[in-house]
Amino acid sequence: MINRKKYEDKKKREKAWHGPRNTEQKQKLLKSILTSKIFFSVERRRYSFSFAKWQMNSFIREQLKHQKVTKMLIAPCGSGDDYTYLKEFSDKIYGIDLSPIAIDNCPDSMEVKEGDILESGYPSEYFDFIASPLFFHHLLSIGFHPFLEEFYRILKPGGKLIILEPSIFYPLCAFTRPLKKLSKNVYGELEDEAAFNPKLLLNSLKKTGYINLKIKAATFSHMFFYLPLSKLINFFTKPFLQHNGFWDYFGWAVIFWGEKPN
């Protein structure tokens, strides 16, 4: 049972994240170090997320056997950034997000609406495919199950679900997690978002009734790494990205796949 008070507070913080933010930090020295080019650049951040999402794109193409679906939902859709990686799979792409500021920036070709995923308002068995990249690591204090249940309800029999999330087993997490607390969240993430054990989501998918569950590492690089190093890591770990094994749990970003039974 979801804690409504906690969830309403969570929604307010998620919506506020898309608006003006107070960037003042108490740890000024640490902030100046962590936002310097040694640790951070917009280009490195963009490349890291983009690489993982193109891996997600390749995984979907493989699972769908290069076929299109009729209706796809991106939930939450944010500003529509994920549309680039998903548009080839459907001619009818929907999006839902809490933030009116975010959805105003979505591509015109998407059919979007402002709303709560748990009260989506979509008819049962409406979508062939749901994509939910980088959402569930925001839900650790709320729980995965209610959202997976709503996705299950609005998926058609045989419908597909793909999720992309950071793994707690990525070795650099031992460094980045305490650093986030020490730096007073210098990168402006929501305080309760965090990488998690992939088995938590796999177990929740199974409990909800999804079948044909799959997990696959999307990248072993990280946005802290210099761009040439990130590209080298992605090049040399390509064999691991192309085949399944225990290493899939240790990716920086991990792909999850599930299907609703026919």
| Tokens (6 digits) for 197 | 């054990």
The band of 173, judged by pLDDT with boundaries at 50, 70 and 90, is confident
Q: Which residues contact 57 (CB under 8 A, 6 or more apart)?
A: 85, 86, 88
The gap from C-alpha 32 to its chain's centroid, in whole angstroms, comes to 28
| Rg (the chain; Cα; Å) | 18
Asked whether the predicted pLDDT for residue 182 surpasses 80, the reply is no
| Tokens (6 digits) for 140 | 């650790």
For strand 93-97 and strand 111-114, is the pairing parallel, antiparallel, or unpaired?
parallel
| Tokens (6 digits) for 176 | 């980045």
Asked whether the predicted pLDDT for residue 15 surpasses 90, the reply is no
Nearest Cα neighbor of 146 from 216, 214, 207, 55 is 207
Length reported for the chain: 262
Q: What pTM does this model have?
A: 0.89
Inside any domain, residue 37: yes
Inside any domain, residue 141: yes
Q: How far apart are the first and last CA of the chain?
A: 27
Inside any domain, residue 54: yes
Q: What does the pLDDT read at residue 21?
A: 54
Q: What's the Cα-to-Cα distance from 185 to each of 103, 165, 225, 250, rounded to whole Å?
A: 25, 19, 19, 24
Inside any domain, residue 21: no
Per the prediction, the chain carries an average pLDDT of 90
Asked whether the predicted pLDDT for residue 92 surpasses 60, the reply is yes
Domain containing residue 47: CATH number: 3.40.50.150
| Tokens (6 digits) for 250 | 């240790």
The boundaries of the domain holding residue 116 are 29-259
Inside any domain, residue 8: no
Inside any domain, residue 15: no
- How do residues 29-86 score in pLDDT, each as one tens digit? 656 655 666 666 889 989 999 999 999 999 999 999 989 999 999 999 999 999 999 9
DSSP-derived secondary structure letter, 123: P
| Inter-residue contact 217 to 59 (CB < 8 Å) | no
Count: domains in the chain: 1
For strand 253-259 and strand 211-219, is the pairing parallel, antiparallel, or unpaired?
antiparallel
Inside any domain, residue 226: yes
